[in-house]
């Protein structure tokens, strides 16, 4: 049996790597020539010999080491592996009392951003810095109450940003969920019911064929520049996302094959899908090919089909088509993004097109009735026919 004076006075000779002073029950003190002294415990679990550290002497006294030994024996008697229990304790150890909301939020952002696009990661951190950190950032996250979060979100509502407040609550929920295993109680419950309701916005879109025909006539008579006029006319023909249409590149077009290939990296997808997914193929009706060929002498020498008026190395702005629609008197009825709704609705209701073909044209992931996660079929052959039928239908609306 060891004594405290023996533990204190023992020195390891320099010609030995270490010496061991046995106590009892498999516990011993390991001493090195450098003066280090560690408590170790040998034990057997399910027939295998294992070793557990009980602390460093003299920070862990002889008495404290023996208490740890007895606690370990109790775990063994209950059928627990002390080494596994030690690892689980480290994993589930509660967050330090001083962890602030900002600390937790930044750690959450750092952990999650590898799966986000750079744009999403930047937008998220900017909202945290603008709307949440000024009020909650320096508060210990364990002490923050639901009423504090609610008061912070209502400051956002007061400036009329109902959607931003709703998104702020979503961020808070994800951050509190991130620290749940650190013993931090969820302070976000019940807040949704006290905020102003946000149900999302639908992009303005004309789905009445007669009114849509009037819009098409007005667009064909647009007096602005040829670049914006062509983008304006292609928007209803192809009904792709505005970002994809305005950043269309000549190298992505095969006018002979009547096909526009949008790289996966340019699509609205998760980061992993952007990096590894298939491109999105958009069949071009003859009307679209004609418009592009007419535009080619103006912008065909550059990268972008619709380059900016002053900066040819950049595409036109998102406001270009929106402003044109307002100048034609349709700005409140029809948005650029709304052409996706117009196309999807009228193709289904007026031309009775298969919804699966329409969802593929819109680049939407389609749930598979046979049980697979998603239907990856592109329906390219069918969509070529659909898009030509759509182009002809729009011509008929414009001339009727």
Give how far the C-alpha of residue 70 lies from the chain's centroid of Cα atoms, to the nearest Å. Answer: 49
The helix (H) or strand (E) run that includes residue 262 is strand 259-262
Confidence of residue 372 (pLDDT cuts 50, 70, 90): very low
| pLDDT computed for residue 267 by the predictor | 85
**Same topology between domain 4-91 and domain 209-399:** no
| pLDDT computed for residue 252 by the predictor | 95
| pLDDT computed for residue 85 by the predictor | 77
| pLDDT computed for residue 345 by the predictor | 93
Question: How would you label 330-368 residue by residue, b for 16+ Cβ within 10 Å and e otherwise?
Answer: beeebbbbbbbbbbbbbbeeeeebeeebbbbbbbeebee
Residue 4 has pLDDT above 60, yes or no: yes
Q: State how far the Cα of 235 lies from the Cα of 277, in Å rounded to an integer.
A: 25
Question: Mind listing the pLDDT tens digit for each residue in 257-316?
Answer: 999 999 988 887 777 777 778 899 999 999 999 999 999 999 999 999 999 988 888 999
Thinking of the domain 4-91, which architecture would CATH place it in?
2-Layer Sandwich (3.30)
Q: State how far the Cα of 316 lies from the Cα of 149, in Å rounded to an integer.
A: 40
Question: Mind listing the pLDDT tens digit for each residue in 303-358?
Answer: 999 999 888 889 998 889 999 999 999 999 999 999 999 999 999 999 999 988 99
CATH number for the region 101-194 comes to 1.10.150.130
Question: Mind listing the pLDDT tens digit for each residue in 22-60?
Answer: 998 899 999 999 889 999 999 988 888 889 889 999 999
Residue 342's nearest CA partner among 230, 201, 215, 208 is 208
Q: What is the pTM of this model?
A: 0.56
Domain limits of the chain? 4-91, 101-194, 209-399
Collapse the DSSP code of 397 into the 3-class scheme (helix H, G, I; strand E, B; otherwise coil) and give the result.
helix
Average pLDDT, integer, range 113-126: 87
If one counts every other C-beta atom within 10 angstroms of the C-beta of residue 92, the result is 10
Average pLDDT, integer, range 366-371: 50
Thinking of the domain 209-399, which architecture would CATH place it in?
Orthogonal Bundle (1.10)
């Amino acid at each position: 049996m060891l004594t405290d004076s023996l533990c204190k006075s023992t020195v390891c000779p320099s010609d030995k790597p270490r010496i061991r002073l046995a106590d009892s029950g498999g516990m011993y003190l390991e001493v090195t020539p450098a003066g280090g002294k560690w408590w170790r415990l040998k034990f057997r679990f399910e027939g295998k010999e294992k070793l557990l550290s009980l602390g460093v002497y003299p920070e862990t006294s002889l008495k404290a080491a023996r208490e740890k030994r007895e606690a370990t024996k109790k775990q063994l008697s209950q059928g627990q592996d002390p080494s596994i229990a030690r690892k689980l304790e480290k994993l589930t150890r509660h967050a330090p009392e001083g962890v602030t909301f900002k600390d937790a939020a930044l750690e959450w952002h750092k952990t999650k951003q590898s799966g986000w696009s750079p744009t999403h990661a930047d937008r998220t951190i900017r909202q945290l810095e603008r709307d949440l950190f000024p009020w909650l950032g320096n508060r210990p996250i364990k002490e923050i109450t639901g009423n504090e979060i609610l008061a912070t979100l209502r400051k956002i509502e007061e400036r009329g940003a109902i959607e931003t407040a709703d998104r702020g609550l979503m961020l808070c929920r994800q951050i509190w969920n991130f620290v749940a295993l650190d013993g931090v109680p969820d302070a976000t419950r019940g807040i949704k019911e006290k905020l102003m309701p946000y149900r999302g916005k639908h992009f303005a879109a004309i789905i009445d064929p007669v009114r849509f025909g009037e819009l098409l006539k007005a667009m064909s008579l647009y007096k602005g520049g040829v670049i914006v006029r062509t983008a304006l006319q292609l928007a209803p023909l192809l009904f792709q996302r505005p970002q994809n249409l305005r950043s269309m590149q000549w190298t992505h077009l095969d006018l002979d094959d009547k096909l526009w290939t949008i790289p996966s990296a340019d699509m609205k997808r998760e980061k992993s899908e952007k990096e590894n997914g298939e491109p999105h193929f958009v069949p071009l009706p003859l009307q679209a090919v004609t418009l592009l060929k007419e535009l080619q002498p103006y912008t065909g020498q550059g990268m972008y089909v619709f380059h900016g008026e002053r900066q040819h190395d950049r595409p036109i702005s998102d406001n270009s088509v929106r402003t044109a629609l307002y100048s034609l008197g349709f700005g409140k009825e029809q948005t650029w993004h709304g052409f996706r709704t117009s196309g999807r609705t009228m193709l289904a209701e007026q031309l009775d097109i298969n919804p699966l073909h329409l969802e593929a044209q819109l680049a939407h992931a389609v749930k598979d009735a046979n049980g697979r996660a998603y239907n990856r079929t592109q329906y390219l052959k069918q969509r070529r026919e659909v898009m030509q039928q759509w182009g002809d239908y729009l011509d008929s609306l414009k001339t009727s």
